[in-house]
Amino acid sequence: MNRCISESADYLPVLSEAHASLTHEVTAVDERGRHSTIHIPAERPLTVYVDTREIVTLMTLGGAPEALTLGYLRNQRLVRSLEDIVSIQVDWSVDAVAVVTRNGIADVEERTAKKVVTTGCGQGSVFGGLMDEVDRITLPEDARLPQSVVYRIVETIRTQQSVYKQAGSVHGCALFSNAGKLLYFVEDVGRHNAVDAIAGLMWLDGMEGGDKVFYTTGRLTSEMVIKGAQMGIPFLLSRSGTTQMGHMVAERVGMSLLARCSGKHFLLLAGHERLVFDLDVLMPIPAPRLDYYPC
């Protein structure tokens, strides 16, 4: 996990620093009967307790469990302020995380009663109405992204060291500046967990999203778009595609969606006015002239 330390909030909860192996060795036998040792991603349950009340069990790689817990609580709108949280303590010996709040969560039973199970790996879920807060989200109207930065982001992801390159079967999410600088990179067994972990890191570092770009290897479903909007990010990029509802939410909040990002190719599906095209970046390098000889 890459982390960019920026100006922090005035108050930070006490966090554990839990560590766990991100890969696991297994013996594989190929089609010719040959044995080999390969790495596969870890997957472990993390049960979230808030003030001793069980909230949810997340299946996770385990690379950023404290940030994942914090981002989950934020994106589910269960906690509104960082100052409301006293501590987040992960204990892998019991596969659990204990969250202590300052004053509890008001109406926690009512707020966690309605759950929408969303699409995609990891069976993401959102408490309350999926669209409850979409209409109250405002993204910066003047946010723009040069085409050249899109290519810089795609190339950075391509060369990023990752669990995926070693073991496969995980999703990666990343946060970039609008100049293409990598700020955070998180992998997990589900893209929902990875985006929540980045939301948690942004919250801890007091980082705003208005001048940021979010990248994911997974599909841009409605939940991913809503979470990006909740983080205040006007640009979402994916090497995969989007869904109808993801597209609808993006248009509703004025977010740019760029899908099928690979090499120099992408499909801009929403928020067309935000992308600054620069066709020069697509021009091939001119062939050397043959009518003269250099000295």
The answer to whether residues 172 and 194 touch, using CB atoms and an 8 Å cutoff, is yes
The C-alpha angle 150, 8, 44, rounded to 5 degrees, equals: 70
Half-sphere exposure of 275 (CA within 13 A, CB side): 22
Q: Which entry of 4, 121, 173, 295 is annotated as an active-site residue?
A: 121
4 is annotated as an active-site residue = no
- Residue 107 token pair: 């109406």
Q: Rounded CA gap, 141 and 144, in Å?
A: 9
Indicate which residues carry an active-site annotation.
121
